[in-house]
Structure formats: C-alpha cells, structure tokens
Amino acid sequence: MEKLMEKISFQGKSMDEVTEQLNRFEKGFPFMPIVRPAQVNDGILKFNKKELDEFSKLYCTSKEDLKVVKFVPASGAASRMFKKLFEFLESDGYLNAYPIAEEFIQNIKKFPFYGDLDISLRKAGSFVELAMQEKDFKLIISHVLFSEGLGYGQMPKGLLKFHRYEDHERTPVHEHFMEGIQYGIGKEGVVRLHFTVSKEHLEGFIKETGKVRELLEKKLKVRFEVTFSQQKPSTDTLAVDLENQPFLNDDGSILFRPGGHGALLSNLQEIDADLVFIKNIDNVGGAKSLEITKKYKMAMGGLLLHRQSEIFNLLNDLKADQVGSQQAVETFLKDKMGVVFPDTYLQLSALEKKKYLIEKLDRPIRVCGMVRNTGEPGGGPFWAKNKDGSVALQIVEKAQINPLYQKALLTESTHFNPVDLVCSIKRPNGKNYQLADFSDPETGLISEKSKSGKSLKALELPGLWNGAMADWNTLFVEVPLETFNPVKTINDLLRREHQNA
C-alpha cells in the first residue's frame, strides 16, 4: 500500500482521487432510471416552416452582437476507421474473406486520397493500377495506413482527406471552416473555431488550419480566429486489471487513461462565448449539405436565444417577487422546458418553492439536434428521473439502459443523438457557469480495453453531452438526416453524401 501511495503521488495524482475511482470500479455505475423515450411532441420539438424561418431570422439579427464559437472535439484517432484493413494485413491475404477490405479495394478510385496514394506507390516503384493487376492488395492498403505511404492509420480523423471536389480535396478541418462561414460569423465579423486535439497531433492541426485559413481568408474575404486545447492530464482516470487492482505499465508505473469526451467539460468551461456550437470532427457532409445544415443550425441558435431571454426575464421577476412570477415560472418550466416537478414540490413552503424554481431556471442551456433513428450506434433522447424525483430530458447511452428491465424502451425510441448542439454557458451577469456543478458523477461508464496484450478496465467520465450536461436546461429538436454524416469506418466515405460532396 505504501509503494502504491508513492507511485500515485509521484505521478501527480491524489490518493483520495484514486481511492474514489477504485471504489467506483467495485460498485460500478447505476443504470439510468428511464421513464420513456422522447418523441416528437413529447420532448422533441419539430419546427414547422414558420418557426424555422422566425428562429433563423432571430439568430441572424442577433449574432453580429454575439461572440459565437464552433467547438469541435477533434482528438479522435483514425485507427478505428481502419480496424478491418489492419486485420486484413495480418491475415493470409484472401481478400474475399474480409468484406470491408474487399469493398475498399474495389472502390479505391472513389476515395479522395486516391491521387496521393498513386504518387506514394510510384515512389516505391509501383502504382495503383499495377498493384491491382498483380493483386497486391496488401501493398495498396499498407501505403494507405503506414508512414512509408500516407500514414493514415496513425493520423487523427480531422487531417484525412474526406471529400473530392473538381479542383481540390478537403479534410474534415477544411469542411468545418466552410460550415463555420455559413452560420458562425459573429461579433466583429469573425468566425471562431476551437478544436480539441491530442498533443501529438497539435502541430499537424496548426499546419492544416493555417493553410485553410490563409486560402479562405484570401478567397472569401472572411476572418477566422482558431484556437486549440488538449484534454487535461488532471482528467485522466485510473485503469485497473480484472481484479480491480491498479493496472501497471511495463515500467511499473500506474496506468492512467484519458477519461473520454467527458473530460472536455473543463475545455468547454474555458470558452469565452455567448453561444457555442458543438459538433464532432467527422460529422461533415460536404458542400451539398451546407444549406440545410445552415438553416437548422441558425434555427436552433434562435430558439436558444428566445428561450434564454424568457428565462432571464422570469429569473429577474422571480428574484424581485413580482406578483404572479412563481406561477409564470412553473408554467414556463412545464410547458416550454420539459420540467416535470417531483411529487414533493407541492409540500414545499413558498420560500422553498422560490429557491427550487430559481435553481431550475439559473442553469446552462442547450438545444440538441436529434435525427430519426436509422440504426446508428450511440445514445438517444429519453425522459429520465432525477435524484429529486423530477423528470427531465436526457441523452442516454445504450450502456446506461438496464438490459433486463428497460430493453423494450430502446425499440420504442424513434430518434438518435448525432452530437449536434448549440449551448450557452453564461450566467445573466455574463460570467461562465461552473459547468462541473451541473454534471452527474453517477453517469460515468466502465469499459473493457487491453494494453500490451493484457485485459484492463477503463473508467470513462460522464460524457460531455450525456452526464456532464445532465442538469442543464435542455431542449431537443428534430433535425433532418441530411445534417448527420458521420465517418466511423473508412468505407463510410463511399456513402452518397460523401461522394457527392
């Protein structure tokens, strides 16, 4: 135990923190107390044409006075995109035994990096057509994945070429710049983008964003402000072996791993903006999806601004004890913000009710786009019970749902979370909320991983758009499927929306 404490102290962690995480591995996390799936007209708003136009107009007329930031989690490694290709390289080489690798090879000319691949192979004394004729498929794939070629297997998703246009190709970083131009020009006429990246890839992102920024500022006469951050080492979490003992690296040190996207809550905390749009790095559909994306992003921003104005006004009235303010707040929270009061609320004194209502109003606010469920893996919108007995809208991951008692609720779920949010993290006085105060520590996850061939268990912090925002004022809005274009495997780039970017 003494040696363990020494190691923990040496690695900059506190014993209290490690003990708490060890206890979490022992007791696990509770399942989310789901009530029912959120659906259109029951927790999910669906804009009609008038609402779409009015909220978009409100956002357009407001944003020039607002500091708007596009916050893009971009530390995701591309290696998972190529998992099946790596497996093929380790195999006996029979392509038809690996359908994903076979589809990749058969469509090799359709990928936007085809030209770069051909140049790489020519430097090695071959070229794509020759390698195809000789059925040297491993040569082709190795030049895609490894550093002697394109090195895509060791790169982050944001720096891969995703889309081909008539005279150029674009990375996801480039596409996020283009999207930012559509709705992100705010105060001072600047498009502000913030990328969260891993330390080892920061230089690559600086180079790519610099190149794109120079091109677009010159071509489109628009200004950009680009910033970066990394997940803080302080948010790394303990890994344990299958006996729930600290997992030791080969050098005897204790393994601490990045705590998942929930660790980005501290990065979000440091953003100085009136509105923050959040979207993952790989969810970009190209130029043809920009118009529909712009329309719904602006409408979501307008809806947030409208509700926020109502909240701040009600908050002022309630604090000033304006006549009828308490009833007005109760009606607003029930009808406009999806707050279902606990049974105990009726037994509270007038002063206790006022305090409760202020707490429900005075919170960060988010509007979350939801798409119709098409079988994509991931979380979705649900009504769930809070510790105080109230019921609220939550984004819930599949792993948080009890498979014995709540599995049927998954089949009733109609919508999926594409990670498409617009948020306000500022108090009425203009200062940022302390976001950690609105997170639910009971919503983390334990996942199974491996390192150096050994199995381990990893602790993931409450997800950024899940438990980390559990106590935010939340609105769900249905958005078109065309606005959701993720790339989870390399062959996703063969989908129509990416081929016709």
Instruction: Tell me the pairing of strands 454-460 and 445-451.
Output: antiparallel
Residue 345, phi then psi, degrees to nearest 5: -60, -40
**Which pLDDT does position 6 carry in this prediction?**
58
Q: Which two tokens stand for residue 77?
A: 């490694």
Scanning the structure block, which residue is given the tokens 């020039």?
Answer: 64
DSSP letters of 6-30?
HHHHHTT--HHHHHHHHHHHHH--P
Give the residue ranges of DSSP H helices in 28-109.
49-62, 83-89, 99-106
Q: Identify residue 263 by its one-letter amino acid code.
A: A
Residue 223, phi then psi, degrees to nearest 5: -105, 145
Scanning the structure block, which residue is given the tokens 């790339």?
Answer: 487
Q: Which two tokens stand for residue 406?
A: 């709540």
For residue 200, what are the CA distances in angstroms to 146, 203, 233, 407, 450? 17, 7, 14, 40, 21
d(CA 178, CA 176): 5
DSSP letters of 79-95?
GGGGHHHHHHHTS-S-G
d(CA 27, CA 23): 6
Domains of the chain: 2-74+185-499 (3.90.550), 91-155 (no CATH)
Q: Residue 477: exposed, middle, or buried by beta-carbon count in 10 A (0-12, 13-18, 19+)?
A: buried
Please work out, in degrees rounded to the nearest 5, the angle formed at the alpha carbon of residue 278 by the alpha carbons of 65 and 59. 30
Would you write out the chain's pLDDT as a tens digit for each of its 501 residues?
556 665 565 556 777 888 889 999 999 999 999 999 999 999 999 999 999 999 999 999 999 999 999 999 999 888 889 999 999 999 887 898 999 999 999 999 999 999 999 999 999 999 999 999 999 999 999 999 999 999 999 999 999 999 999 999 999 999 999 999 999 999 999 999 999 999 999 999 999 999 999 999 999 999 999 999 999 888 899 999 999 998 988 888 888 888 999 999 999 999 999 999 999 999 999 999 999 999 999 999 999 999 999 999 999 999 999 999 999 999 999 999 999 999 999 999 999 999 999 999 999 999 999 999 877 666 899 999 998 899 999 999 888 988 887 877 878 899 999 999 999 999 999 999 999 999 999 999 998 888 878 899 999 999 999 999 999 999 999 999 999 999 999 999 999 999 976
Q: Which two tokens stand for residue 178?
A: 């283009």
Is-contact 393 43, C-beta < 8 A? yes
Is-contact 84 153, C-beta < 8 A? no
- The DSSP element (H or E) to which 269 belongs, if any, is helix 265-269
Residue 427, phi then psi, degrees to nearest 5: -75, 170
Encode 48-78: b = buried (16+ Cβ within 10 Å), e = exposed.
eeeebebbbebbeebbeebbbbbbbbbbbeb
**Which pLDDT does position 252 carry in this prediction?**
83
**Which pLDDT does position 2 carry in this prediction?**
54
Angle between helices 172-183 and 290-319 (to 10 degrees): 60
Q: Which two tokens stand for residue 350?
A: 């007038």
Strand ranges (DSSP E) for 361-499?
Answer: 365-372, 380-385, 391-396, 415-416, 420-424, 445-451, 454-460, 473-478
3-class secondary structure, 346:
helix
**Which pLDDT does position 471 carry in this prediction?**
96
Please work out, in degrees rounded to the nearest 5, the angle formed at the alpha carbon of residue 397 by the alpha carbons of 393 and 400. 95
Encode 450-469: b = buried (16+ Cβ within 10 Å), e = exposed.
eeeeeebbbbbbbbbbbbbb
Encode 89-118: b = buried (16+ Cβ within 10 Å), e = exposed.
beeeeebeebebbbbbbeebeebbbbebbb
For residue 437, what are the CA distances in angstroms to 16, 20, 123, 440, 470? 20, 18, 56, 8, 10
Residue 394, phi then psi, degrees to nearest 5: -140, 150
Tell me the whole-structure pTM to 2 decimals.
0.94
Give the residue ranges of DSSP H helices in 91-231.
99-106, 114-123, 128-133, 137-145, 172-183, 202-220
Strand ranges (DSSP E) for 320-432?
Answer: 365-372, 380-385, 391-396, 415-416, 420-424
Strand ranges (DSSP E) for 217-282?
Answer: 223-229, 237-240, 256-257, 275-279
**Which pLDDT does position 103 carry in this prediction?**
97
For residue 337, what are the CA distances in angstroms to 200, 420, 426? 42, 19, 18
